[in-house]
Amino acid sequence: MDSRAIPSLHSYLEAASVSGDPEEQACAQNFLLDERPPVAALALYQPRFLTGSISGLDDWYGRHRGYATEHLFIDQDEPLIPYTFRDINIRNRLTQIDVRLNLIRIEHAAWPCSLRGHSFEEIKTQIETFQSGDASARAYLQGLCDAWNPERDQRPAYVTTEIQVEDCLADGVVDWALQLRDRLGLGHYDPGRSGRPVEIFLMRYPVAEVIAASAGQGHPAIPTVLDGDINPFFFPSPLPQPNATEALRYGRTVNLTPVETENDYQMGCELLHARIPYRPEHFYRAGIITEPVTMPLVRARGFHLPWVRLYAERDDFGADFCAGAVR
């Protein structure tokens, strides 16, 4: 994203990208690195930066949230769709994706639990009962969907593919929720910050259903910095060389699994899709994340960059400033 088109933003990003705070640094670097937002997207983002210089991270967050509220977090009854799925973002849409793939989404359980006053354990039991083939739990889960769906706006949904995390979800993996949190770079699901375990619902559904929900036009997208909140655990995916043999088919998550060497690091996978109404069949699992994030963010990003470069065959990606800053 050529932030030079927004001088006040660019000035802040250049300073913040080498700041002493790892999270502010990561957020700024992401905006300077991301090549995928189309030029037309800057016209949507620019109006938030016409009122003077950015005073700090909180100020930037506030301005970005104003953009996101207008162009991403749109009420479901509004005719406007999120920027992510408009024609101006077509180059980041995965129109050739295999519609047979299952997608996996992690939802924080606190909100849906609160809508009907049910406990997490109660809903977890109903999910397990339904998954075991007992149809009696369907009405219960349908009631939860009926309460939850009207409250969900149109914001793009971050997901991975089931095949990319099949090792985490294999039979006998007790800490699957923790493994998914780390593999997918969900650093905000951190009991170390919240002071309590994080309860999650795992949703599963096929790509075909996502596409069909938007009249056949709902192909997923590769995430960019303009598709969600500002996030230090995000890392942009470069545009691959035209002749790249291992082009990045999806976005790639910063893996927070604690490792000591670059060779032990494994990128995760992420993509975005438009809102779909949940059905009982989408509830796959319920789990609890009890352990804090322990992988240092600077180390994770330092391991991540060489792998992104390798798969995109883009040794130049991030060379201007990230070779030192990310490391």
Segment 147-161, tens digit of pLDDT: 999 999 999 999 999
Given this model, what pLDDT does residue 6 score? Answer: 94
pLDDT-derived band of residue 107, with 50, 70 and 90 as boundaries?
very high
CA 51 to chain centroid, in Å, comes to 29
Mean pLDDT of the region 72-85: 95
pLDDT over 90 (residue 322) = no
Mean pLDDT of the region 309-326: 75
Secondary structure letter of residue 155 according to DSSP: P
Given this model, what pLDDT does residue 265 score? Answer: 97
**Average pLDDT score over the chain:** 94
Given this model, what pLDDT does residue 245 score? Answer: 66
Mean pLDDT of the region 197-202: 98
Domain-located, residue 256: yes
Handedness of CA 50, 56, 62, 66 (dihedral sign): positive
Given this model, what pLDDT does residue 321 score? Answer: 58
User: Which segments of 72-161 does DSSP mark as H helices, in order?
Assistant: 110-116, 120-131, 138-148
C-alpha to C-alpha distance for 95 and 109, rounded to whole angstroms: 31
pLDDT-derived band of residue 326, with 50, 70 and 90 as boundaries?
very low
Given this model, what pLDDT does residue 324 score? Answer: 46
Mean pLDDT of the region 198-209: 98
- Residue numbers of the domain that contains 245: 94-325
pLDDT-derived band of residue 108, with 50, 70 and 90 as boundaries?
very high
Q: Which of 170, 177, 107, 193 is nearest to 144 (CA)?
A: 107
Segment 163-194, tens digit of pLDDT: 999 999 999 999 999 999 999 999 999 999 98
pLDDT over 70 (residue 325) = no
C-alpha to C-alpha distance for 192 and 197, rounded to whole angstroms: 9
Domain-located, residue 145: yes
Domain-located, residue 60: no
pLDDT-derived band of residue 273, with 50, 70 and 90 as boundaries?
very high
Percent of the chain with pLDDT over 90: 87
Residues 6+ apart with CB under 8 A from 186: 106, 180, 233, 256
Given this model, what pLDDT does residue 320 score? Answer: 74
Segment 20-37, tens digit of pLDDT: 899 999 999 999 999 999
Domain-located, residue 184: yes
What is the model's pTM?
0.94
Segment 31-66, tens digit of pLDDT: 999 999 999 999 999 999 998 899 999 999 999 999
Please give the tally of structural domains in the chain. 1
Domain-located, residue 98: yes
Q: Which of 227, 233, 218 is nearest to 29 (CA)?
A: 233
Domain-located, residue 30: no
- Continuous segment of H or E residues that includes residue 287: strand 283-289
Percent of the chain with pLDDT over 70: 96
Segment 237-252, tens digit of pLDDT: 999 887 766 666 799 9
